[in-house]
Amino acid sequence: MTTGLFITFEGGDGSGKSTQLSLLVDWLEREGHSVLTTREPGGTELGDELREIVLHSKGHITPKSEALIYAADRAHHVATKVRPAIERGDIVVQDRYLDSSVAYQGVGRELGADEIRRISLWATDDLLPDLTVLLDLEESLGRERLDTSRTRFDRLEAEERDFHARVRSAYLALAEAEPIRFLVLDATRSVDSLAEEIRSRVSSLLS
């Protein structure tokens, strides 16, 4: 039985999801909630090792292998950290989850959205978020933001523009298919107005 809340943040690289995630976590903690902040890939010791491999490995990683590394990370993360926290009644706020795999591996790498979703659901015993905040941003704007903030790009960030355009439309299609789970926000809006709208949606889930 799950009693807590599971909130995920999604969006293309440079969409500002990490900033919004931190603002939400600060607010939830000020309100007295017990919060687990975590991310994928990563979030566990094994996950940090897998993150380094999948994002920074020098050698080639085949698309299917890449998809399975993300799924392996997710299986371990959910079983050892996320699900126990939700069952304790915590609010889990997570940077990226299975929608990232569907968008990046399923559609970006063209492995098939349904296939990749099924693998992730199998890996997690069907755990879906209560709320997914999607920060939508045109891919070239995301790129500009990264260019000013990064000294090195990871394997996915380094992909060409078409890849990121596919990722963006995949996210929008996912949100359209599940309008209750997704809150889609225009990432070019001000940081404050985005944070306020996210807080308001989370408040309604808490009441």
Q: Which residues bind ligand TMP (CB under 6 A)?
A: 13, 39-41, 55, 70, 96, 100-101, 104-105, 154, 156-157
Decide if 81 contacts 36 (C-beta within 8 A): yes
Map tokens 């126990």 to a residue: 84
How far apart are CB 139 and ligand TMP at their closest, in Å? 12
Q: How far is CA 64 from CA 45, 106, 150, in A?
A: 23, 10, 27
With respect to ligand TMP, which residue has the nearer C-beta, 57 or 203? 57
Q: Which is nearer to ligand TMP, 166 or 195 (CB)?
A: 166
Kindly tell me which of 30 and 152 has the beta carbon lying closer to ligand TMP. 152
- Give the nearest distance from C-beta 206 to ligand TMP in angstroms: 26
Select 19 or 27, whichever has its Cβ closest to ligand TMP: 19
Q: How far is the CB of 65 from ligand TMP (least distance, A)?
A: 13
Collapsed DSSP state (helix, strand, coil) of residue 28: helix
Spell out a b/e string for 165-197, using b for 16 or more CB atoms within 10 Å of the CB, else e. ebbbebbeebbeeeeebbbbbebeeeeeebbee
